[in-house]
Structure 1
Amino acid sequence: MPTKESRELYLLERFLPELFSDTYILSQPAPPLPDAIVQVSGKKIGIEMTALILDEQSREREAKQDAILNEAQKLFEKQLHLPLHVTVDFSESGNWKNLERKQVAGLLADVVKRCVLAVKDLPESQTEFTIRTEAFVHPCIHSVSIFFLSRLTVPCWTPITTFWVPDAPLEKIQEIINRKSKNVNGYLTGCDEVWLLMLETGSPSSYYDHFEKLQEVAFDSGFARTLIGRISKGELVTLQTKRAL
């Protein structure tokens, strides 16, 4: 599964219990339908997801980090089949231009494998475990965190970097809503209503502060509900909206 889709599904699974109290069935339809459809209480609710990414310079660096994580995940899963959430704290000042991507991916996969093998068969680790290690000798990586929870089925390997946190930009969020709203009619061909979930993943180009300011405005939106999922806080922010003209 491509990294983008696997991360979105992982994050969606984290938020579904907060969105739906009843038993639900989750599926991934093909375009032009939304990214996911949740069947709940006899109703089909489409959920279109997109990353809340606005910093293009950071995004270029993250693309290289994503490539490392994607390769490391493949190497790990060839040997062990566990749906892990692996968070790698990358160094912002690393030499990303001349980085040997496959070498770093191999080192990372080996570190995760050794950490997991040390705990996975322990009785207290059968349903959940958390590991953090800073014993990783590479100038581009500060630390590695590993989380396993048996009820989560989709693996997620995520980069993070130390960075300055700006305020959530109202106009940029509206631009994302406008772009996604153009596809609402296509989404509705396979569901009763469709929601937009923008994912603040915690990476440098997708991490903002003062989300309370978003409650002071009403965004134009073609979606039945427009939300921001904050993985860093484990919370959902429901935006006030008015119907887009």
Structure 2
Amino acid sequence: MSTKESRELYLLERFLPQLFGAKSYSLLQPAPPLPDVLIQVDGRKIGIEMTALILNEQAREREANQDAILIEAQRIFEKKHQLPLQVTVDFFEAVNWRNLDRKSVAALVAEAVGTCVLEVKEMPQYQIHFDVTIDSFIHSHIRGISVFYLDTLTQPCWSPITTFWVPDAPFEKIQEIINRKNKNVSGYLAGCDEVWLLMLETGSPSSSFHRFEKLQELAFASAFTRTLIGRVSKGELLTLPTKSLT
């Protein structure tokens, strides 16, 4: 499974209780042209297509470096520990990413996470869940590290976050993403009864937005049965009002 697929599945698992409550369901990751995930529930197949909320072209190089560091850090950590974690690394935004020894930074991150796990995992109160912040981590490119564990989650997710604030979630950009995905709905429906679109606000510099409540005042043109935003940083699901394309 690719890093992207692993991250998406981990994030989806955190929202499944909100989507389906206590209902029994099964999950499958099919191949294209079907959506990213198929959920079998109540005798129906629901497809869920996932995508990042916003892509900022100016942030691509920085995020590529951050992802490379975390992919390597996750690989180092998982050679020693078989534990699915959500690790979020808070990177400084205004730093020079050129000529950075990414492998040495990755090794430092993996060591810090490993030390954290060893300190808490054997404590009885942390067998099912723990959420720890490492704020004493000193590096020119890293502000801190958050480590989250829940025994019901099966997929690891190591992701970057950079301090970045945008005052409004932009309607036009969100509609652009929906428009792009609308083109694929007929292919998605080839293998399911209905399909939902889940846009993930991951908290990365290209996707940290505020005042989402304003989106409730607007209607998006969507071919999906449900069109949702998953606010990972808040653990919230937002259902967008939609209007028919016909």
TM-score when normalising by structure 2: 0.96
Is the 8 Å Cα contact of residues 215 and 240 (structure 2) preserved in structure 1? yes
AA aligned opposite 1:179 = R
1:60-111 Cα shifts (integer Å, max 9, x gaps): 2112101111110011101101001111110112221221111111111111
Is the 8 Å Cα contact of residues 84 and 155 (structure 2) preserved in structure 1? yes
Cα distance in structure 1, aligned partners of 2:245 and 2:106: 45
Is the 8 Å Cα contact of residues 91 and 162 (structure 1) preserved in structure 2? yes
Cα distance in structure 2, aligned partners of 1:58 and 1:150: 33
The aligned counterpart of 2:109 is 108
AA aligned opposite 2:14 = R
The aligned counterpart of 1:8 is 8
Cα distance in structure 1, aligned partners of 2:13 and 2:232: 11
The aligned counterpart of 2:236 is 235
The aligned counterpart of 1:17 is 17
AA aligned opposite 1:113 = G
Is the 8 Å Cα contact of residues 59 and 206 (structure 2) preserved in structure 1? yes
The aligned counterpart of 2:80 is 79
Q: Identity over aligned residues, as a percent?
A: 69
Shift of 1:25: 0.9
Is the 8 Å Cα contact of residues 165 and 208 (structure 2) preserved in structure 1? no
Shift of 1:165: 2.3
The aligned counterpart of 2:121 is 120
Shift of 1:124: 1.6
SS in 2 for 1:204: coil
Matches within 5 A, 1:81-160: 81-160=82-161
TM-score when normalising by structure 1: 0.97
AA aligned opposite 1:14 = R
Cα distance in structure 1, aligned partners of 2:240 and 2:135: 38
More displaced 10-residue stretch of structure 1: 122-131 or 219-228: 122-131
Cα distance in structure 2, aligned partners of 1:123 and 1:85: 20
Shift of 1:227: 0.7
The aligned counterpart of 2:35 is 34
Shift of 1:242: 1.4
Shift of 1:135: 2.5
More displaced 10-residue stretch of structure 1: 157-166 or 201-210: 157-166
AA aligned opposite 1:202 = G
More displaced 10-residue stretch of structure 1: 163-172 or 35-44: 163-172
Shift of 1:169: 0.7
Is the 8 Å Cα contact of residues 217 and 240 (structure 1) preserved in structure 2? yes
Cα distance in structure 2, aligned partners of 1:129 and 1:227: 28
1:28-54 Cα shifts (integer Å, max 9, x gaps): 111110000111100000000000123
SS in 1 for 2:26: strand
Runs in 1 of length 4+ with deviation above 3 angstroms? none
The aligned counterpart of 1:225 is 226
SS in 1 for 2:154: coil
The aligned counterpart of 2:178 is 177
AA aligned opposite 2:44 = K
Is the 8 Å Cα contact of residues 53 and 59 (structure 1) preserved in structure 2? no
Cα distance in structure 2, aligned partners of 1:121 and 1:149: 14
The aligned counterpart of 2:165 is 164
Shift of 1:160: 1.1
Shift of 1:116: 0.8
Cα distance in structure 2, aligned partners of 1:150 and 1:132: 18
- Root-mean-square deviation (Å): 1.1
1:207-243 Cα shifts (integer Å, max 9, x gaps): 1111111111111111111111111111111111112
Is the 8 Å Cα contact of residues 90 and 142 (structure 2) preserved in structure 1? yes
The aligned counterpart of 1:199 is 200
